[in-house]
Protein backbone atom coordinates (compact mmCIF):
# COMPACT_ATOMS: atom_id res chain seq x y z
CA UNK A 1 0.00 0.00 0.00
CA UNK A 2 1.09 3.54 -0.68
CA UNK A 3 -0.35 6.95 0.00
CA UNK A 4 -1.45 8.60 -3.25
CA UNK A 5 -1.84 12.33 -3.75
CA UNK A 6 -5.04 12.73 -5.72
CA UNK A 7 -5.46 16.17 -7.27
CA UNK A 8 -9.21 16.59 -7.78
CA UNK A 9 -9.72 19.10 -10.61
CA UNK A 10 -13.00 20.81 -11.53
CA UNK A 11 -14.47 23.81 -13.32
CA UNK A 12 -15.89 26.56 -11.13
CA UNK A 13 -19.01 28.70 -11.60
CA UNK A 14 -17.43 31.84 -13.05
CA UNK A 15 -18.94 33.18 -16.28
CA UNK A 16 -18.53 33.40 -19.14
CA UNK A 17 -15.42 31.26 -18.63
CA UNK A 18 -14.96 28.84 -15.76
CA UNK A 19 -11.67 28.71 -13.90
CA UNK A 20 -9.88 25.49 -13.13
CA UNK A 21 -9.83 24.64 -9.43
CA UNK A 22 -8.18 21.79 -7.61
CA UNK A 23 -7.34 20.38 -4.22
CA UNK A 24 -5.50 17.34 -2.94
CA UNK A 25 -6.89 14.26 -1.29
CA UNK A 26 -4.41 11.78 0.22
CA UNK A 27 -5.58 8.19 0.16
CA UNK A 28 -4.00 4.77 0.39
CA UNK A 29 -4.09 2.36 -2.58
CA UNK A 30 -2.33 -0.88 -3.49
CA UNK A 31 -1.31 0.55 -6.88
CA UNK A 32 -2.17 3.47 -9.16
CA UNK A 33 -5.89 3.97 -8.49
CA UNK A 34 -8.50 3.08 -11.10
CA UNK A 35 -11.30 5.55 -11.80
CA UNK A 36 -13.87 3.33 -10.07
CA UNK A 37 -11.82 3.26 -6.87
CA UNK A 38 -11.76 7.04 -6.45
CA UNK A 39 -14.23 8.38 -3.90
CA UNK A 40 -16.77 11.13 -4.44
CA UNK A 41 -15.48 14.24 -2.68
CA UNK A 42 -16.78 17.74 -1.95
CA UNK A 43 -15.86 21.40 -1.73
CA UNK A 44 -17.20 24.75 -0.60
CA UNK A 45 -19.22 26.00 -3.54
CA UNK A 46 -19.76 29.43 -1.95
CA UNK A 47 -16.10 30.21 -2.69
CA UNK A 48 -16.31 29.22 -6.36
CA UNK A 49 -19.63 30.87 -7.39
CA UNK A 50 -21.32 27.48 -7.25
CA UNK A 51 -23.43 27.82 -4.09
CA UNK A 52 -24.86 30.23 -1.52
CA UNK A 53 -23.06 30.51 1.81
CA UNK A 54 -25.87 28.90 3.79
CA UNK A 55 -25.88 25.66 1.84
CA UNK A 56 -22.49 25.54 0.25
CA UNK A 57 -21.70 21.87 -0.32
CA UNK A 58 -20.94 20.77 -3.88
CA UNK A 59 -19.88 17.27 -4.86
CA UNK A 60 -16.96 16.14 -6.98
CA UNK A 61 -17.49 13.03 -9.10
CA UNK A 62 -14.27 11.68 -10.65
CA UNK A 63 -14.62 11.12 -14.42
CA UNK A 64 -11.02 10.58 -15.58
CA UNK A 65 -7.69 9.88 -13.90
CA UNK A 66 -4.14 10.58 -15.15
CA UNK A 67 -0.68 10.00 -13.62
CA UNK A 68 1.02 13.13 -12.26
CA UNK A 69 4.77 12.65 -12.47
CA UNK A 70 5.54 15.93 -10.72
CA UNK A 71 4.59 14.30 -7.44
CA UNK A 72 5.54 11.05 -5.77
CA UNK A 73 2.45 8.83 -6.16
CA UNK A 74 0.54 11.64 -7.81
CA UNK A 75 -2.72 11.47 -9.79
CA UNK A 76 -4.76 14.11 -11.60
CA UNK A 77 -8.47 13.43 -11.16
CA UNK A 78 -10.78 15.30 -13.54
CA UNK A 79 -14.19 15.73 -11.91
CA UNK A 80 -17.75 16.81 -12.67
CA UNK A 81 -19.56 18.99 -10.13
CA UNK A 82 -22.83 17.64 -8.69
CA UNK A 83 -25.47 18.96 -6.32
CA UNK A 84 -25.44 17.59 -2.74
CA UNK A 85 -27.89 14.81 -3.78
CA UNK A 86 -25.09 13.33 -5.93
CA UNK A 87 -27.64 12.84 -8.73
CA UNK A 88 -28.23 16.27 -10.21
CA UNK A 89 -25.42 17.81 -12.24
CA UNK A 90 -24.61 21.32 -11.02
CA UNK A 91 -25.76 24.04 -13.49
CA UNK A 92 -22.08 24.81 -14.16
CA UNK A 93 -21.43 21.19 -15.18
CA UNK A 94 -21.05 21.39 -18.96
CA UNK A 95 -19.97 17.76 -19.33
CA UNK A 96 -22.70 15.62 -17.76
CA UNK A 97 -25.31 15.66 -20.51
CA UNK A 98 -23.38 16.15 -23.73
CA UNK A 99 -23.70 13.72 -26.63
CA UNK A 100 -20.80 11.32 -26.81
CA UNK A 101 -19.63 8.69 -29.25
CA UNK A 102 -16.24 6.97 -29.32
CA UNK A 103 -16.46 7.08 -33.14
CA UNK A 104 -16.40 10.89 -33.01
CA UNK A 105 -12.77 12.04 -33.00
CA UNK A 106 -11.64 15.51 -32.04
CA UNK A 107 -8.32 17.30 -32.47
CA UNK A 108 -8.16 20.59 -30.57
CA UNK A 109 -5.46 23.13 -31.50
CA UNK A 110 -5.12 25.14 -28.33
CA UNK A 111 -3.50 28.54 -28.83
CA UNK A 112 -2.53 30.79 -25.93
CA UNK A 113 -0.18 33.56 -24.89
CA UNK A 114 2.43 33.32 -22.17
CA UNK A 115 2.24 36.52 -20.12
CA UNK A 116 4.63 38.18 -17.73
CA UNK A 117 4.23 41.60 -16.10
CA UNK A 118 0.98 42.22 -17.97
CA UNK A 119 2.28 41.60 -21.49
CA UNK A 120 3.25 38.72 -23.74
CA UNK A 121 6.53 37.06 -22.91
CA UNK A 122 9.29 38.75 -24.91
CA UNK A 123 7.51 42.10 -25.37
CA UNK A 124 9.75 45.06 -24.49
CA UNK A 125 8.89 47.19 -21.46
CA UNK A 126 7.48 49.89 -23.73
CA UNK A 127 5.98 49.55 -27.17
CA UNK A 128 6.06 46.49 -29.34
CA UNK A 129 8.59 43.98 -30.62
CA UNK A 130 9.16 43.44 -34.36
CA UNK A 131 5.87 43.02 -36.24
CA UNK A 132 4.49 39.54 -36.91
CA UNK A 133 6.27 37.56 -39.55
CA UNK A 134 9.10 35.43 -38.21
CA UNK A 135 7.56 34.28 -34.94
CA UNK A 136 5.30 31.51 -36.30
CA UNK A 137 7.29 28.25 -36.03
CA UNK A 138 10.31 30.48 -35.48
CA UNK A 139 13.64 29.72 -33.91
CA UNK A 140 16.23 31.89 -32.17
CA UNK A 141 16.16 34.15 -29.13
CA UNK A 142 14.83 37.15 -31.05
CA UNK A 143 11.81 35.11 -32.11
CA UNK A 144 10.99 32.88 -29.15
CA UNK A 145 12.95 34.32 -26.23
CA UNK A 146 14.58 32.18 -23.57
CA UNK A 147 12.19 30.36 -21.24
CA UNK A 148 9.17 29.85 -23.50
CA UNK A 149 10.58 26.80 -25.17
CA UNK A 150 11.53 25.33 -21.82
CA UNK A 151 7.94 25.79 -20.65
CA UNK A 152 6.31 24.23 -23.71
CA UNK A 153 8.77 21.29 -23.69
CA UNK A 154 8.15 20.60 -20.01
CA UNK A 155 4.44 20.84 -20.62
CA UNK A 156 4.69 18.33 -23.46
CA UNK A 157 6.48 15.85 -21.19
CA UNK A 158 3.97 16.34 -18.38
CA UNK A 159 1.12 15.63 -20.81
CA UNK A 160 2.80 12.56 -22.28
CA UNK A 161 3.60 11.25 -18.78
CA UNK A 162 -0.06 11.72 -17.90
CA UNK A 163 -1.14 9.67 -20.91
CA UNK A 164 -2.70 12.69 -22.61
CA UNK A 165 -2.73 12.49 -26.41
CA UNK A 166 -0.65 15.59 -26.92
CA UNK A 167 0.12 15.63 -30.63
CA UNK A 168 2.41 18.57 -31.16
CA UNK A 169 3.59 22.08 -30.44
CA UNK A 170 4.31 25.16 -32.50
CA UNK A 171 5.29 28.74 -31.85
CA UNK A 172 2.45 30.92 -33.15
CA UNK A 173 2.12 34.08 -35.23
CA UNK A 174 2.35 36.59 -32.38
CA UNK A 175 5.35 36.95 -30.12
CA UNK A 176 4.79 35.02 -26.89
CA UNK A 177 1.99 32.97 -28.51
CA UNK A 178 2.09 29.18 -28.72
CA UNK A 179 -0.10 26.24 -29.63
CA UNK A 180 -0.45 22.63 -28.57
CA UNK A 181 -2.68 19.99 -30.12
CA UNK A 182 -4.70 17.38 -28.25
CA UNK A 183 -6.47 14.48 -29.94
CA UNK A 184 -9.13 12.25 -28.42
CA UNK A 185 -11.84 9.78 -29.37
CA UNK A 186 -15.22 10.72 -27.94
CA UNK A 187 -16.31 14.21 -26.94
CA UNK A 188 -15.85 13.73 -23.21
CA UNK A 189 -12.51 11.96 -23.50
CA UNK A 190 -11.06 14.56 -25.87
CA UNK A 191 -12.33 17.51 -23.85
CA UNK A 192 -11.19 16.03 -20.52
CA UNK A 193 -7.69 15.87 -21.94
CA UNK A 194 -7.81 19.50 -23.08
CA UNK A 195 -8.88 20.68 -19.64
CA UNK A 196 -6.18 18.64 -17.88
CA UNK A 197 -3.56 19.86 -20.38
CA UNK A 198 -4.65 23.44 -19.63
CA UNK A 199 -4.39 22.72 -15.93
CA UNK A 200 -0.88 21.30 -16.30
CA UNK A 201 0.29 24.32 -18.28
CA UNK A 202 -1.05 26.82 -15.76
CA UNK A 203 0.45 24.92 -12.84
CA UNK A 204 3.80 24.54 -14.59
CA UNK A 205 4.00 28.27 -15.34
CA UNK A 206 3.74 29.19 -11.65
CA UNK A 207 7.43 28.53 -11.02
CA UNK A 208 8.40 30.73 -13.99
CA UNK A 209 6.28 33.61 -12.66
CA UNK A 210 4.45 33.41 -15.97
CA UNK A 211 0.70 33.28 -16.54
CA UNK A 212 -1.19 31.69 -19.38
CA UNK A 213 -3.46 34.20 -21.07
CA UNK A 214 -6.26 32.24 -22.74
CA UNK A 215 -8.20 35.28 -23.98
CA UNK A 216 -8.91 35.20 -27.71
CA UNK A 217 -7.67 38.74 -28.38
CA UNK A 218 -5.53 39.81 -25.45
CA UNK A 219 -3.81 42.64 -27.32
CA UNK A 220 -7.07 44.09 -28.60
CA UNK A 221 -8.31 44.87 -32.08
CA UNK A 222 -6.47 48.15 -32.61
CA UNK A 223 -3.13 46.50 -33.23
CA UNK A 224 -1.94 44.08 -35.88
CA UNK A 225 -1.43 41.04 -33.65
CA UNK A 226 -3.18 37.71 -34.08
CA UNK A 227 -5.73 36.42 -31.62
CA UNK A 228 -5.89 32.91 -30.19
CA UNK A 229 -8.16 30.18 -31.45
CA UNK A 230 -8.88 26.61 -30.64
CA UNK A 231 -9.44 25.18 -34.11
CA UNK A 232 -11.49 22.04 -33.67
CA UNK A 233 -10.84 19.18 -36.08
CA UNK A 234 -13.57 16.58 -36.08
CA UNK A 235 -14.66 13.40 -37.80
CA UNK A 236 -17.31 10.79 -37.20
CA UNK A 237 -17.19 7.16 -38.29
CA UNK A 238 -19.55 8.06 -41.13
CA UNK A 239 -17.38 10.97 -42.26
CA UNK A 240 -14.28 8.78 -42.27
CA UNK A 241 -15.74 5.64 -43.80
CA UNK A 242 -18.65 6.71 -46.02
CA UNK A 243 -18.52 10.45 -46.57
CA UNK A 244 -19.29 11.62 -50.10
CA UNK A 245 -19.95 15.01 -51.63
CA UNK A 246 -23.72 14.98 -51.06
CA UNK A 247 -23.32 14.19 -47.38
CA UNK A 248 -20.62 16.83 -47.02
CA UNK A 249 -22.83 19.49 -48.60
CA UNK A 250 -25.75 18.56 -46.37
CA UNK A 251 -23.43 18.75 -43.37
CA UNK A 252 -22.21 22.22 -44.35
CA UNK A 253 -25.80 23.38 -44.87
CA UNK A 254 -26.55 22.28 -41.30
CA UNK A 255 -23.47 24.12 -39.99
CA UNK A 256 -24.68 27.22 -41.83
CA UNK A 257 -28.18 26.85 -40.41
CA UNK A 258 -26.89 26.58 -36.83
CA UNK A 259 -24.05 29.10 -37.13
CA UNK A 260 -25.34 31.27 -34.28
CA UNK A 261 -25.74 28.27 -31.97
CA UNK A 262 -22.14 27.33 -32.72
CA UNK A 263 -20.80 30.83 -32.09
CA UNK A 264 -22.71 30.91 -28.79
CA UNK A 265 -20.50 28.16 -27.37
CA UNK A 266 -17.27 28.89 -29.25
CA UNK A 267 -15.84 31.12 -26.52
CA UNK A 268 -16.46 34.68 -25.29
CA UNK A 269 -15.40 37.87 -27.07
CA UNK A 270 -15.09 36.01 -30.35
CA UNK A 271 -16.33 39.10 -32.25
CA UNK A 272 -12.95 40.65 -31.38
CA UNK A 273 -11.18 37.76 -33.09
CA UNK A 274 -13.48 36.67 -35.93
CA UNK A 275 -13.17 39.85 -37.94
CA UNK A 276 -12.33 38.49 -41.37
CA UNK A 277 -8.68 39.45 -40.81
CA UNK A 278 -5.79 37.42 -39.36
CA UNK A 279 -6.80 34.11 -40.95
CA UNK A 280 -10.42 34.25 -39.73
CA UNK A 281 -13.91 34.56 -41.18
CA UNK A 282 -16.26 37.25 -39.77
CA UNK A 283 -18.38 36.15 -36.84
CA UNK A 284 -21.70 36.61 -38.67
CA UNK A 285 -20.79 34.63 -41.77
CA UNK A 286 -20.42 30.94 -42.43
CA UNK A 287 -18.39 29.53 -45.27
CA UNK A 288 -16.14 26.63 -46.04
CA UNK A 289 -13.24 26.23 -48.39
CA UNK A 290 -10.59 23.77 -49.43
CA UNK A 291 -7.35 24.65 -47.66
CA UNK A 292 -8.88 28.08 -46.96
CA UNK A 293 -7.58 29.52 -43.71
CA UNK A 294 -9.93 32.46 -44.01
CA UNK A 295 -12.99 30.20 -43.92
CA UNK A 296 -15.19 29.17 -40.99
CA UNK A 297 -14.53 25.55 -41.86
CA UNK A 298 -11.36 24.53 -43.65
CA UNK A 299 -11.64 21.42 -45.77
CA UNK A 300 -8.28 19.65 -45.95
CA UNK A 301 -7.04 18.71 -49.44
CA UNK A 302 -6.94 15.09 -48.26
CA UNK A 303 -10.69 15.20 -47.55
CA UNK A 304 -11.58 16.07 -51.14
CA UNK A 305 -8.94 13.77 -52.62
CA UNK A 306 -10.36 10.84 -50.63
CA UNK A 307 -13.87 11.29 -51.99
CA UNK A 308 -15.06 13.74 -49.33
CA UNK A 309 -14.00 11.45 -46.51
CA UNK A 310 -12.00 12.28 -43.41
CA UNK A 311 -12.00 15.21 -41.00
CA UNK A 312 -12.92 18.88 -41.16
CA UNK A 313 -11.49 21.85 -39.29
CA UNK A 314 -13.85 24.30 -37.63
CA UNK A 315 -11.67 27.40 -37.22
CA UNK A 316 -14.17 29.45 -35.23
CA UNK A 317 -13.82 28.10 -31.65
CA UNK A 318 -11.54 30.33 -29.60
CA UNK A 319 -8.82 29.70 -27.07
CA UNK A 320 -11.13 30.27 -24.09
CA UNK A 321 -13.90 28.02 -25.36
CA UNK A 322 -15.11 25.08 -23.28
CA UNK A 323 -14.22 21.94 -25.28
CA UNK A 324 -17.16 20.04 -23.75
CA UNK A 325 -19.59 22.59 -25.21
CA UNK A 326 -17.75 22.87 -28.52
CA UNK A 327 -17.66 19.12 -29.13
CA UNK A 328 -21.27 18.78 -28.01
CA UNK A 329 -22.49 21.46 -30.44
CA UNK A 330 -20.63 19.89 -33.34
CA UNK A 331 -22.18 16.48 -32.60
CA UNK A 332 -25.64 18.05 -32.19
CA UNK A 333 -25.44 19.67 -35.61
CA UNK A 334 -24.07 16.50 -37.23
CA UNK A 335 -26.98 14.56 -35.70
CA UNK A 336 -29.48 16.72 -37.64
CA UNK A 337 -28.12 15.45 -40.97
CA UNK A 338 -29.65 12.18 -42.17
CA UNK A 339 -27.13 9.51 -43.08
CA UNK A 340 -28.93 8.48 -46.25
P1 LIG B 1 -3.16 23.09 -38.69
O2 LIG B 1 -2.30 23.95 -37.81
O3 LIG B 1 -2.58 22.87 -40.06
O4 LIG B 1 -4.57 23.56 -38.77
P5 LIG B 1 -2.60 20.94 -36.73
O6 LIG B 1 -1.58 19.97 -37.15
O7 LIG B 1 -2.22 21.95 -35.70
O8 LIG B 1 -3.22 21.62 -38.06
O9 LIG B 1 -3.85 20.17 -36.14
C10 LIG B 1 -4.53 19.20 -36.84
C11 LIG B 1 -5.34 18.40 -35.86
O12 LIG B 1 -6.21 17.52 -36.58
C13 LIG B 1 -4.54 17.54 -34.90
O14 LIG B 1 -4.90 17.89 -33.59
C15 LIG B 1 -5.02 16.13 -35.23
O16 LIG B 1 -5.13 15.35 -34.08
C17 LIG B 1 -6.38 16.37 -35.80
N18 LIG B 1 -6.87 15.27 -36.64
C19 LIG B 1 -6.18 14.54 -37.55
N20 LIG B 1 -6.96 13.59 -38.09
C21 LIG B 1 -8.18 13.70 -37.50
C22 LIG B 1 -9.42 12.99 -37.62
N23 LIG B 1 -9.57 11.98 -38.48
N24 LIG B 1 -10.46 13.39 -36.84
C25 LIG B 1 -10.32 14.41 -36.00
N26 LIG B 1 -9.19 15.11 -35.83
C27 LIG B 1 -8.12 14.77 -36.58
MN1 LIG C 1 -2.30 24.08 -35.73
MN1 LIG D 1 -2.49 27.74 -34.87
MN1 LIG E 1 -5.67 24.83 -37.52
Residue 102 is predicted with a pLDDT of 98
- Pocket flag, ligand 1, residue 232 (CB < 6 Å): no
Cα separation, 78 vs 184, whole angstroms? 15
Domains and CATH numbers, the chain: 2-82 (3.10.20.70), 105-334 (3.30.590.10)
pLDDT 10s digits, 175-194: 999 999 999 999 999 999 99
Mutate to test the pocket of ligand 1, among 109, 187, 300 (most ligand atoms within 8 A of CB): 109
Mutate to test the pocket of ligand 1, among 172, 181, 191, 279 (most ligand atoms within 8 A of CB): 181
- Pocket flag, ligand 1, residue 234 (CB < 6 Å): yes
- Pocket flag, ligand 1, residue 235 (CB < 6 Å): yes
Residue 284, pLDDT above cutoff 90: yes
Across the chain, mean pLDDT equals 97
Q: What is the DSSP string of 51-70?
A: SBTTB-EEEEEEEEEEEETT
Peptide bond connecting 170 to the previous residue in cis, omega within 30 degrees of 0: no
**Distance of CA 152 from the midpoint of ligand 2 (Å):** 15
| N-terminal to C-terminal alpha carbon distance within the chain | 55
pLDDT 10s digits, 53-67: 778 899 999 999 999
- Pocket flag, ligand 1, residue 105 (CB < 6 Å): yes
Mutate to test the pocket of ligand 1, among 233, 291, 315 (most ligand atoms within 8 A of CB): 233
In eight-state DSSP terms, residue 292 is -
pLDDT 10s digits, 105-133: 999 999 999 999 999 999 999 999 999 99
Mean per-residue pLDDT for 220-235? Answer: 96
- Pocket flag, ligand 1, residue 109 (CB < 6 Å): yes
Beta-bridged to residue 312, according to DSSP, are 234
95-126 b/e (C-beta count within 10 Å ≥ 16 → b): beebebbeebbbbbbbbbbbbbeebbbbbeee
CB atoms within 5 A of ion ligand 2 belong to 109
Q: Do residues 334 and 240 lie in contact, with contact meaning Cβ atoms separated by under 8 Å?
A: no
Share of the chain above pLDDT 70, in %: 100
Cα separation, 144 vs 127, whole angstroms? 18
Amino acid sequence: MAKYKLEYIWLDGYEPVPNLRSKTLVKEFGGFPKLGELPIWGFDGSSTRQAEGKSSDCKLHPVAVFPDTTRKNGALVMCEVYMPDDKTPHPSNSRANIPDDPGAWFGFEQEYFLYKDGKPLGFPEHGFPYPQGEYYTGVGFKNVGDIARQIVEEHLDLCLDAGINHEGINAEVAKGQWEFQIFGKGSKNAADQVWVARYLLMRLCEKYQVDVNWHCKPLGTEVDWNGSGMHTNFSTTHMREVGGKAYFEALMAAFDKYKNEHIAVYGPDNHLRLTGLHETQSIDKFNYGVANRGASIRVPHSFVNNGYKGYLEDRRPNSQGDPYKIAARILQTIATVPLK
